[in-house]
Structure 1
């Protein structure tokens, strides 16, 4: 027997179409991401708010150093957690916690601790004004209202820090979603409750 050759133009066109469909499907779904993880370990601020303790009342006045104006200003401008919450599962199993922090310099950050979710195509970090709804009813609500995309998700596992643009007021948002932009679905989300 000789080689099998596609002699018919229709057969060649069919094969070419099948190859194009396979390439588009691979690009669109990126199935290899189901078997790969990207770990991130950004430097995180300490958990909780930074507080300043004053000297005990029983300390003699002569033993207590007098604070300088610069030291008092630094103490008053410590980092502060404005809102925090735990991730719930949507399209993919997701765990971890999120918090919005106001830094001493007035900027804001979203801090994600111990994130564990699936990898996927075109994952983004969104702040939204939508309430987190558990289960499949909550998968697609986050693009219904006001939202802001902070960045592409750095990795599907680990600790991550995202800067909020100066134009973003954290008080306008009540949740964070790991959003798959390609399929318009939330992998997981956290309600941000004021602390």
Structure 2
């Protein structure tokens, strides 16, 4: 009789341990996020055109010479400082990243047409590390200087992130969709002068 009770307790203990380990693994890895998407479609700030319209000349007649052309003044406004295309790291990632300087002097990171997997604890990071394609680039972004802008708002669509006034965007050369829980990049974009 005692052997049966002992076996029964051992079986229940093993079952309880298996349930606990499974629950912890589900919480940690959150595999359902691989099959769910969060779409975001935020308004992207307008930017001024980088090309100016060709100056128009007054019609010239033999009696009146044409006035010299003067370039049109560029209106003050938002502008794109740097931009880049996302490359795939741990998970397939596409889209573009841009750093905008707004007319009021603030800076924003604009992510357009993002498409990546959802995952646990995804963040948006600016980093001073270069983007390396392939497995060699998965874990480099926490090696140097980096700043976390926010949690990723969604794994699909257009998103805008404020860059704090204390952060100089010129100090960073890349953007990473960073999985903080597993210290790995889902995808990253090299930022180059626009």
TM range (shorter): 0.7 to 0.9
Inter-partner Cα distance in structure 2 for 1:110 and 1:18: 44
Residue in structure 1 matched with residue 32 of structure 2 by the alignment = 32
Deviation at 1:46, TM superposition (A): 3.6
Q: Tell me, which stretches of 5 or more residues in structure 2 are unaligned?
A: 60-72
Deviation at 1:142, TM superposition (A): 0.3
Q: Is the 8 A contact 2:47 2:77 kept in 1?
A: no
Q: Any idea what the Cα deviations from partners look like across 1:66-92, whole Å, max 9, x if unmatched? A: xxxxxx8x92x3111110000000001
Residue in structure 2 matched with residue 186 of structure 1 by the alignment = 185
Q: Tell me, which stretches of 5 or more residues in structure 1 are unaligned?
A: 60-71
Inter-partner Cα distance in structure 2 for 1:131 and 1:9: 56
Deviation at 1:56, TM superposition (A): 3.6
Taking a change above 3 Å as real, the CA distance of residues 78 and 47 of structure 1, as seen in their structure-2 partners, is closer
Residue in structure 2 matched with residue 41 of structure 1 by the alignment = 41
Residue in structure 1 matched with residue 137 of structure 2 by the alignment = 138
Q: Is the 8 A contact 2:125 2:148 kept in 1?
A: yes
Structure 1 runs of 4+ aligned residues shifted over 3 Å read 46-57
Deviation at 1:115, TM superposition (A): 0.3
Deviation at 1:6, TM superposition (A): 8.8
Deviation at 1:8, TM superposition (A): 2.7
Residue in structure 1 matched with residue 9 of structure 2 by the alignment = 9
Residue in structure 1 matched with residue 155 of structure 2 by the alignment = 156
Deviation at 1:54, TM superposition (A): 9.1
Residue in structure 1 matched with residue 113 of structure 2 by the alignment = 114
When Rg is computed on C-alpha atoms for both structures, the one with the higher figure is 2
Taking a change above 3 Å as real, the CA distance of residues 153 and 6 of structure 1, as seen in their structure-2 partners, is farther
Inter-partner Cα distance in structure 1 for 2:25 and 2:57: 70
Residue in structure 2 matched with residue 66 of structure 1 by the alignment = none
Q: Is the 8 A contact 1:6 1:12 kept in 2?
A: no
Inter-partner Cα distance in structure 1 for 2:111 and 2:124: 10
Deviation at 1:179, TM superposition (A): 0.3
Q: TM-score of the superposition, structure 2-length normalised?
A: 0.84
Q: TM-score of the superposition, structure 1-length normalised?
A: 0.84
Inter-partner Cα distance in structure 2 for 1:33 and 1:56: 56
Q: Any idea what the Cα deviations from partners look like across 1:40-99, whole Å, max 9, x if unmatched? A: 00001246646776974528xxxxxxxxxxxx8x92x31111100000000011000000
Inter-partner Cα distance in structure 2 for 1:6 and 1:30: 35
How many residue pairs get matched? 178
